[in-house]
A and B are shown apart, each in its own frame.
Chain A
Amino acid sequence: MSGNREKKKRRLRGEALTVLPLYVFTLLFVLGPIVYMIVLSFLTRAETWGVLPEFTLQNYKNIAEPVYLETFWESIKLALTSTVLVILIGYPFGYFMAKLTAKWKKRTMMLLMIPFWTSSLIRLYGWIIIFRAGGILDKLLMALHVTEKSVKILYTYPAVVVGMVYALLPFMIFAVYSSAEKLDFSLVEAARDLGASPMKAFLTVSLKLTLPGLLSGVVLTFVPSMGLFFIADILGGNKVVLVGNLIQEQLMKTHNWPFAAALSVALLALTSLFMFLYRKLSGVKDLEGLV
């Protein structure tokens, strides 16, 4: 008996040892930086470089300035717009992709994966070639006689939205696909058999059962889109300034680390709040594809 318990204890210790590196890694590289960032946000900026170890709330007070609040509001608006567009394109895509034959599923999956093999930065420069004055888009529209002169879309808000949607769409597609693939089509047939029109059957059965996928897709889209700064940088010029851009600017150009940290904490709090509200409202506990 006691020998058995001894063995069990030893095994538990063995298991603890195997996961220890993970804990250490998480502490060091996830929790550590967050704590560092929070601490930093309460410190004072040094005159020229670095920080002084003096406690202050000034960084947070600065965020309340209209110009910065405006930036936050812009970021939320852009994130919402992108997310809505990503849902509208990505949901049907993922849903119908799950209904393809095995062969076409594989091919479609391949086509979605290939762009990931190149740097996302390079793919964004591709959009510049399309959007710039006299670029592919202009040529196409002129050839179709939609417009006479350049549409001048590069360095505008719509260009940033397109870039966002482009970058985030695959995540939505994969999330929806993974839950649509599990959908038993006989349930839809049962709904039709019981008197539901195709639309009604979709709303009461298919949509309800693929909702977890859609919701995790929304999280995977909305949260990153709050912080993505390089898309706005590359496709928006300096016309579209988001929280992400602001943080980068404070950190890299102005060297106001405490303020950059405070902005980051505010962004983190904001996305956490959205996540919280969202979980409350949707009632979904475990999001598909997310841990």
Chain B
Amino acid sequence: MSKTVLELQEITKSFSGTPVLNGISLKAEQGEFITLLGSSGCGKTTTLRIIAGLETPDSGRVLLSGKDMTDTEPNKRDVNTVFQNYALFPHMNVEQNIGYSLKIRKRPKTEIRGEVQKMLSLVQLTGYEKRMPSELSGGQRQRVAIARSLINRPQLLLLDEPLGALDLQLRRQMQQELKRLQKKLGITFIYITHDQEEALNMSDRIAVMMDGRFQQLGTPSEVYDSPKTAYVARFVGSANIVYGAVECVEGELVRFTSTDGSGVFHCRGNRFEPGRPVTLAVRGEQAVLTKEFEKGSRGLFGTVKEKSFAGGMLRIAVSLHNDLEFICSRHGIDSELVPGDRVRISWEPQNACPVDLDGEERI
């Protein structure tokens, strides 16, 4: 029995004539962790601000626990926000910051103190009550901001890139901790990030945003393994996009040709007709590069452009026609391929995912 905590209905918003949100709809269940993923300027922060009440949508409704709250002031919503820059009050110490919302509600001092203590132990900052925000490290400020927004036990917590300013190691640690907190408290989280790894790691569902629209809304595995659009495939899976035309359909396998060669992909329940254009997403680690190949064999053909080593993976860029590039990644530190080699790129049919071009211009 879960209940809907938040519902967005066809939200639109523009700032001085420039559309920022173009019809956003979303339902969040109690205890769900939903991530809005997108690059900067995609409208994710505006979405969050509309939920918090800091911005009013041009059209569409915001429902909190079934009640229409579109025009309700932020202080009258059962929603709290962890701001991107933490927005800790610089003139108040940790205890006063965390206890702020209870003090505003004129709760007795002893009760506030008790609640603050509970929150401090929840975020593992006991003993820091008298410190000023300026005396805290980035990670500690983050914890204070979270404690401050959780003390009211809101139904819904909004987090705007809360880990953006932290270094990688601390990020990983805080990701675990946030997830732990969210599970423990059973609060719905709406989380903003531009880091796909973070999104895949923490979320129950991910909404991939671009140009004020949800490109795809689904579980991490749906978004990662079956991207709907070329943008999602690129942004979430760092996939290569291959453009071609359907050659023939053989049962569930579809053959296609492109200027760089030809290949096969699994239809995944879609219908394809010969002659129609098709766009495929192929992830770099699932593509195979071969140097020796027979004339007339299937695959895309290109020239190795460069090799680089990043994040424990060897990255090989192959240049194709029309200035396109195909990036392959391999475990290990080197391969026998050298720049200038002619190579064949191939993949298992189920590893190529047909996607929509929506929102992604053909180059």
Task: Identify the closest chain B residue to A208 (Cβ).
Answer: B91
- Are A194 and B54 within 8 A (Cβ)? no
- Are A194 and B83 within 8 A (Cβ)? no
Please judge, given known A-B contacts A186-B83, A200-B104, whether A193 and B89 are in contact too, CB under 8 Å: no
Segment of B74-82, B212-220, B306-314 in the binding face: B74-82
Task: Identify the closest chain A residue to B55 (Cβ).
Answer: A189
How long is the Cα–Cα vector from A208 to B89 in the complex, in angstroms? Answer: 10
How long is the Cα–Cα vector from A200 to B75 in the complex, in angstroms? Answer: 11
How long is the Cα–Cα vector from A197 to B152 in the complex, in angstroms? Answer: 16
A235 within 8 A of B: no
- Are A194 and B91 within 8 A (Cβ)? no
How long is the Cα–Cα vector from A191 to B80 in the complex, in angstroms? Answer: 10
How long is the Cα–Cα vector from A205 to B52 in the complex, in angstroms? Answer: 19
- Are B90 and A194 within 8 A (Cβ)? no
- Are A189 and B152 within 8 A (Cβ)? no
Please judge, given known A-B contacts A195-B75, A200-B104, whether A190 and B90 are in contact too, CB under 8 Å: no
B87 within 8 A of A: yes
Give chain A residues whose Cβ lies under 8 Å from the Cβ of B53: 192-193
Shortest A218–chain B CB gap in Å is 19
- Are A187 and B89 within 8 A (Cβ)? yes
How long is the Cα–Cα vector from A192 to B81 in the complex, in angstroms? Answer: 10
B100 within 8 A of A: yes
How long is the Cα–Cα vector from A204 to B90 in the complex, in angstroms? Answer: 12
- Are A186 and B85 within 8 A (Cβ)? yes
- Are A197 and B75 within 8 A (Cβ)? yes
B47 within 8 A of A: no
How long is the Cα–Cα vector from A37 to B85 in the complex, in angstroms? Answer: 54
Residues 79-103 of B at the A interface (beta carbon under 8 Å): 79-81, 83, 85, 87, 89-91, 100-101
Shortest B82–chain A CB gap in Å is 9
B149 within 8 A of A: yes
- Are B75 and A189 within 8 A (Cβ)? no
How long is the Cα–Cα vector from A209 to B91 in the complex, in angstroms? Answer: 7
- Are A193 and B91 within 8 A (Cβ)? no
Give chain A residues whose Cβ lies under 8 Å from the Cβ of B105: 195
Partner of B87 from the list A189, A196, A197, A200 (CB cut-off 8 Å) is A189
Interface footprint category on A: 10 to 19
Partner of B81 from the list A193, A196, A209 (CB cut-off 8 Å) is A193
B148 within 8 A of A: yes
- Are B101 and A194 within 8 A (Cβ)? yes
- Are B101 and A195 within 8 A (Cβ)? yes
- Are A190 and B87 within 8 A (Cβ)? yes
Residues 55-74 of B at the A interface (beta carbon under 8 Å): 73-74
Residues 182-220 of A at the B interface (beta carbon under 8 Å): 184, 186-187, 189-197, 200, 204-205, 208-209
How long is the Cα–Cα vector from A192 to B149 in the complex, in angstroms? Answer: 12
Shortest B46–chain A CB gap in Å is 13
Task: Identify the closest chain B residue to A196 (Cβ).
Answer: B104
- Are A184 and B54 within 8 A (Cβ)? no
Residues 100-116 of B at the A interface (beta carbon under 8 Å): 100-101, 104-105
Task: Identify the closest chain A residue to B105 (Cβ).
Answer: A195
Interface footprint category on B: 20 to 34
- Are B87 and A184 within 8 A (Cβ)? yes
- Are A190 and B104 within 8 A (Cβ)? no
Partner of A192 from the list B73, B89, B90 (CB cut-off 8 Å) is B73
Give chain A residues whose Cβ lies under 8 Å from the Cβ of B90: 187, 209
- Are A193 and B52 within 8 A (Cβ)? yes
- Pick the most buried of B79, B81, B89, B148: most chain A CB atoms within 10 A of its CB: B89
Residues 164-191 of A at the B interface (beta carbon under 8 Å): 184, 186-187, 189-191
- Are A193 and B74 within 8 A (Cβ)? yes
Please judge, given known A-B contacts A195-B104, A195-B105, A196-B104, whether A190 and B83 are in contact too, CB under 8 Å: yes
Give chain A residues whose Cβ lies under 8 Å from the Cβ of B54: 189, 192-193
- Are A191 and B100 within 8 A (Cβ)? yes
Shortest B225–chain A CB gap in Å is 37
Give chain B residues whose Cβ lies under 8 Å from the Cβ of A189: 54, 74, 83, 87
Give chain B residues whose Cβ lies under 8 Å from the Cβ of A193: 52-54, 74-75, 79-81, 149
Shortest B11–chain A CB gap in Å is 19
- Are B52 and A194 within 8 A (Cβ)? no
Shortest A60–chain B CB gap in Å is 44
Give chain A residues whose Cβ lies under 8 Å from the Cβ of B148: 194
Please judge, given known A-B contacts A196-B104, A197-B75, whether A190 and B81 are in contact too, CB under 8 Å: yes
How long is the Cα–Cα vector from A205 to B81 in the complex, in angstroms? Answer: 17
Residues 15-70 of B at the A interface (beta carbon under 8 Å): 52-54
Task: Identify the closest chain B residue to A192 (Cβ).
Answer: B74
Task: Identify the closest chain B residue to A188 (Cβ).
Answer: B87
Give chain A residues whose Cβ lies under 8 Å from the Cβ of B91: 208-209
- Are B104 and A187 within 8 A (Cβ)? no
Give chain B residues whose Cβ lies under 8 Å from the Cβ of A186: 83, 85, 87
How long is the Cα–Cα vector from A199 to B297 in the complex, in angstroms? Answer: 74
Shortest B145–chain A CB gap in Å is 9
Per-position binary interface string of chain B over residues 333-344, scored 1 when its CB falls under 8 Å from any chain A CB and 0 otherwise:
000000000000
Task: Identify the closest chain B residue to A186 (Cβ).
Answer: B87
How long is the Cα–Cα vector from A184 to B73 in the complex, in angstroms? Answer: 20
Shortest B222–chain A CB gap in Å is 32
Give chain B residues whose Cβ lies under 8 Å from the Cβ of A184: 85, 87
How long is the Cα–Cα vector from A190 to B149 in the complex, in angstroms? Answer: 9
Closest 6 CB pairs of A and B: A190-B87, A194-B101, A192-B74, A186-B87, A195-B101, A195-B75
Can you report 21 residue pairs joining A to B where beta carbons are below 8 Å apart? A184-B85, A184-B87, A187-B87, A187-B89, A189-B54, A189-B87, A190-B87, A191-B89, A192-B74, A192-B75, A193-B52, A193-B54, A193-B74, A194-B101, A195-B101, A195-B105, A195-B152, A196-B104, A197-B75, A205-B89, A208-B91
Question: Residues of A with Cβ closer than 8 Å to B?
Answer: 184, 186-187, 189-197, 200, 204-205, 208-209
Known A189-B83, A195-B101; 10 more pairs at CB < 8 Å: A186-B83, A187-B89, A187-B90, A191-B89, A191-B100, A191-B104, A193-B52, A196-B104, A204-B104, A209-B91
